[in-house]
Amino acid sequence: MFMHGRSISAAALVVVVAIAGCQPAGSADATAGGPRLLSAADTIAYGRTVAIHHGCGDCHGGGDNPSAPMWLVGFRAGTDDTLFWPAVIPTPGGKFKTWPRNLTPDNETGLGRFTERQIYNALRYGLRPGETPDAVITSSTPGEGNFPANPKYLAPPMPWPAFRHMPETDLWAIAAYLKRGVAPQTNRVQPSEGPPDFWAGLYGMIAGPMPAPAFPTAREVALPR
Ligand code: HEC
């Protein structure tokens, strides 16, 4: 599980540009379990492309190679993965160790336990799928619109503060790929350390306010063409 640089193949880029050109970003109906712009098979294939070029495998296993034996199985104890993990995260409350989890749809140790909506909520809001109900969330304010009153967030370096800016279509497609496009593998990853409640506060220092502010912020401009 090496930390590969991120590469976007020309073919992948063409696919993304082509699909992005015909999708209204943020228009998906979250209550219906995802957008309906593509067939189920195309959604999974598109989710694969998005997962690869967002570097999911760089941390979760396999790098940028979906044919790797360790594709998305998460941290493997007793292997070379120990050269890179755990990540040790310094916080005002001390140092905490974190490990990337098993993203294959194994029912016991992977994402098979969760719905596509729980995976979507993890990527859109950073909510830990194991501690967040399977619910349609309509607010980013704790306690409102099904957003948990005491949210449990995913720990660094899981880059959900960046992923939350992705279009609805992309997030749902990743969820579809992880549940229906990846072979299940059994690999139990130990839980990350640290009280999950404060990760959002820590992320806020580097990623900005929760929820993400709309474009343009004070440091951006929206120039006419
Ligand atoms: C820089 C490293 C890194 C990258 C890149 C990364 N993740 Fe993660 N991810 C993590 C870590 C570490 C955790 C464990 C967080 C925790 O324990 O709270 C995690 C946890 C998760 C979880 C929660 C799983 C569970 O069982 O609770 C999901 C879902 C997830 N990642 C999806 C993705 C997807 C999809 C991508 C690519 C679009 C991705 N991750 C890219 C590091 C990463």
Along the 225 residues of the chain, how does pLDDT read in single tens digits? 444 434 333 333 333 333 333 333 333 444 445 656 678 889 999 999 999 999 999 999 999 999 999 999 999 999 999 999 999 998 888 899 999 999 999 999 999 999 999 999 999 999 999 988 899 999 878 889 998 888 888 999 999 989 999 999 999 999 999 999 999 999 999 999 987 676 776 776 667 777 778 889 999 999 998
Q: Mark 116-154 as b/e (b = at least 16 C-beta within 10 Å).
A: bbbbbbbbbbbbbbeebeeeebeebeeeeeebbeebbbb
Q: What is the CA radius of gyration of the chain?
A: 17
The verdict on residue 213 lying in a domain is no
State if residue 100 touches ligand 1 by the CB under 6 angstroms criterion.
yes
The verdict on residue 217 lying in a domain is no
Return the ligand 1 atom nearest residue 153 CA.
Answer: 18
Angle of CA points 218, 126, 201, to nearest 5°: 60
Give the structural domain span for 201: 10-207
Phi, psi torsion values for 13, nearest 5 degrees: -65, -40
State if residue 166 touches ligand 1 by the CB under 6 angstroms criterion.
no
Give the amino acid at 5: G
State if residue 122 touches ligand 1 by the CB under 6 angstroms criterion.
yes
C-alpha 201/C-alpha 140 separation (Å) is 14
The verdict on residue 180 lying in a domain is yes
The verdict on residue 221 lying in a domain is no
The pLDDT of residue 4: 43
| 79-88 long-range contacts, CB within 8 A, separation 24+ | 79/1, 80/1, 81/1, 84/1, 84/2, 84/3, 85/1, 86/192, 87/156, 87/157
C-alpha 192/C-alpha 100 separation (Å) is 8
Residue 60 neighbours by CB distance under 10 Å: 24
Return the ligand 1 atom nearest residue 192 CA.
Answer: 17
The verdict on residue 116 lying in a domain is yes
Return the ligand 1 atom nearest residue 154 CA.
Answer: 18
Give yes or no for a cis peptide into 92 (omega within 30° of 0): no
Return the ligand 1 atom nearest residue 51 CA.
Answer: 38
How many domains does the chain fold into?
Answer: 1
Question: Ligand 1: which residue has its CA nearest to atom 31?
Answer: 158
The pLDDT of residue 35: 58
Pocket test for ligand 1, best of 16, 101, 182 (most atoms within 8 A of CB): 101
The verdict on residue 82 lying in a domain is yes
The verdict on residue 220 lying in a domain is no
The verdict on residue 212 lying in a domain is no
The torsion of the CA quartet 113, 118, 122, 125, rounded to 10 degrees, works out to -160
Give the amino acid at 187: N
Task: State the distance from the centre of ligand 1 to the C-alpha of 101, rounded, in angstroms.
Answer: 6
Q: Given the structure tokens 């912020």, which residue do they identify?
A: 217
Pocket test for ligand 1, best of 158, 165, 170, 180 (most atoms within 8 A of CB): 158
Task: State the distance from the centre of ligand 1 to the C-alpha of 131, rounded, in angstroms.
Answer: 15
